[in-house]
């Protein structure tokens, strides 16, 4: 393969997309809207629609399945997610939720699955479809699931419990991660499948604005044709890689929000006759935030670069998410700490960043590149 040029600068296309999302986020999300969505525990459908109308996901789907046929780019998607999460993490997950479904089927599904499912969601209008990976138990691990899928003739019977399934109630379909005879795999489950029991909306530490639900699969039968990739299943490791990179991008965006808010506050806030930023103890925290945000972003891009080159990104995506998980906690904590008592009050966004930030290290499979 021809060597691509190594480099750190955004292409024209990348920076124009970044600017477009940044503009939308600034006008419709930052400040009061994000705060209100969190307090009201409800995302603005208008904003979700606006983000979807940008067409970031659909553009990368071939025309035959309802997309615009542009080249698939995990780096572009990482930039997109960072900008959205800079505005709000709940929004970033909800607005790109169909992407996880779409890309998984597009890249790992059978021809029949692509023809059947992609046109449903590659629509100019946002239609919810979701992913169920996480399980409500101590010691949960995305690579060893307790949800089991057993083959019975032309059907699979799935049993298990899932949690943090975003927008499960509104979703036409969901991808369910399950253990199929020792191999972790994904199954396409119709939202109306009678074996699917969607519980009461969850109350969580963070992401108040994101509707999420526990889902119980009780003798849930799905046609064998709906195992992603067919009889042999899909490249589940690759699915996880893509979701890990996505969560790193989201962590980067949220950490950047915490950093910028704390930085600006520290210059405004005067104590002992001087802005607190003019003291090294605060200034050094801000310096650390600045380079750690960059480090998180570069690790995200590094892993995305591997995917973009068609290479396995197992190691890079794992390290990027581990790093983003730890660093997001640290930087959202710094955000609260720099604001002091004011940071503890819900009026200031750093309080929300701190709660949401805990999610990066815990959650799996809620977004994709």
Partner 1 sequence: MINLEMTQKMMDVKNGMNNMASSMLRPISRHYDEREHEYPKELDVFRSIKIMSRPKKKKEGEEAKPEKPGPKKLGTNLSTVLVIEELCWGDLGMVLSLPNAGLGNAAIVAVATDEQMERFGDKWASMAITEPGSGSDSGSITAKATLDGNEWVLNGEKIFVTCAERADVAVIWATVDKSAGKAGIKSFLVEKGRPGFKLEKLEHKLGIRASDTGTYVLDDCRIPKDNILGSAEVKQSTEGFKGAMKTFDNTRPLVASMSLGVTRAALDLTREKIEESGIKLDYEKNPNNMSAIEKEFYMMEANLEAMRLLTWRAAWMMDNGEANSLEASMCKAKSGRDGTLIAQRCCELLGPLGFSCENLAEKWMRDVKITDIFEGTGQIQHLIVARSVLGYSSKQLK
Backbone angles phi, psi at 356, to 5 degrees: -65, -35
Tokens at 114, concatenated: 């692509």
82-90, 202-210, 217-225, 302-310 -> range binding partner 1 (CB under 8 A)? 302-310
**C-beta closer to partner 1: residue 55 or 275:** 275
Q: By CB under 8 A, which span of 152-160, 221-229, 261-269, 347-355 interacts with partner 1?
A: 261-269
DSSP state of 226: G
Residue 283 lies near partner 1 (rule: CB under 8 A): yes
User: Which of 218, 213, 231 minimizes the C-alpha distance to 158?
Assistant: 218
**Which of 107, 193, 204, 237 touches partner 1 (CB under 8 A)?**
237
Shortest approach of partner 1 to residue 59 CB, angstroms?
18
Q: Is 287 in the site for partner 1 (CB under 8 A)?
A: yes
The answer to the question of residue 231 lying near partner 1 (CB under 8 A) is no
Q: Which of 85, 306, 336, 339 binds partner 1 (CB under 8 A)?
A: 306
Question: Of 235, 147, 266, 267, which Cα lies nearest the Cα of 196?
Answer: 147
Burial class (CB in 10 A: 0-12, 13-18, 19+), 72: middle
**Residue 294 found at the interface with partner 1 (CB under 8 A):** yes
Q: Note whether 70 binds partner 1 by CB under 8 A.
A: no
Secondary structure class of 272 (helix, strand, coil)? coil
Asked if 213 contacts 169 with a C-beta cutoff of 8 angstroms, the reply is yes
Distance of CA 254 to the CA centre of its chain: 12
Taking CB under 8 A as the criterion, the residue among 14, 107, 110, 337 binding partner 1 is 14
Q: Positive or negative, the Cα torsion across 34, 94, 132, 18? A: negative
Q: Which residues bind partner 1 (CB under 8 A)?
A: 2-11, 14, 75, 139-143, 237, 240, 263, 266-267, 277-278, 280, 283-284, 286-288, 290-292, 294-296, 298-299, 301-302, 305-306, 308-309, 311, 314-316, 318-320, 322-323, 326, 361
């Amino acid at each position: 393969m021809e060597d691509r040029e190594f480099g750190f600068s955004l292409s024209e296309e990348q920076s124009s997309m970044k600017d477009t999302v940044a503009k939308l986020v600034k006008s419709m999300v930052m400040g009061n809207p994000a705060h209100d969505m969190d307090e009201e525990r409800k995302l603005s459908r208008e904003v979700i629609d606006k983000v979807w109308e940008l067409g970031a996901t659909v553009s990368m789907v071939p025309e035959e399945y309802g997309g615009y046929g542009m080249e698939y780019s995990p780096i572009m998607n990482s930039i997109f997610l960072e900008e959205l999460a800079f505005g709000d993490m709940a929004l970033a997950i909800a607005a790109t939720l169909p992407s996880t479904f779409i890309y998984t089927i597009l890249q790992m599904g059978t021809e029949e699955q692509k023809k059947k499912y992609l046109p449903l969601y590659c629509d100019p209008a946002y239609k919810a479809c979701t992913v169920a990976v996480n399980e409500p138990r101590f010691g949960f691990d995305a690579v060893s699931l307790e949800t089991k899928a057993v083959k019975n003739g032309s059907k699979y019977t799935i049993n298990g419990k899932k949690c943090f399934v975003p927008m499960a109630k509104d979703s036409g379909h969901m991808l369910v991660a399950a253990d199929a005879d020792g191999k972790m795999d994904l199954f396409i489950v119709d939202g109306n499948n009678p074996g699917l029991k969607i519980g009461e909306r969850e109350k969580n530490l963070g992401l108040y604005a994101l509707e999420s639900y526990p889902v119980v699969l009780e003798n849930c039968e799905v046609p064998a044709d709906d195992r992603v990739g067919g009889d042999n299943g899909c490249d589940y490791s690759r699915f996880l890689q893509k979701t890990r990179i996505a969560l790193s991008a989201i962590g980067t965006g949220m950490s950047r929000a915490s950093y910028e808010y704390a930085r600006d506050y520290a210059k405004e806030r005067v104590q002992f006759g001087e802005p607190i930023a003019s003291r090294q103890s605060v200034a050094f925290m801000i310096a650390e935030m600045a380079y750690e945000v960059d480090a998180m972003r570069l690790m995200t891009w590094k892993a995305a670069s591997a995917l973009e080159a068609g290479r396995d990104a197992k190691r890079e995506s794992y390290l990027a998410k581990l790093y983003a998980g730890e660093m997001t906690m640290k930087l959202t904590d710094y955000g609260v700490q720099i604001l002091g008592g004011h940071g503890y009050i819900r009026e200031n966004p750093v309080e929300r960043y701190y709660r949401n930030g805990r999610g990066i290290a815990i959650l799996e499979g809620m977004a994709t590149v």
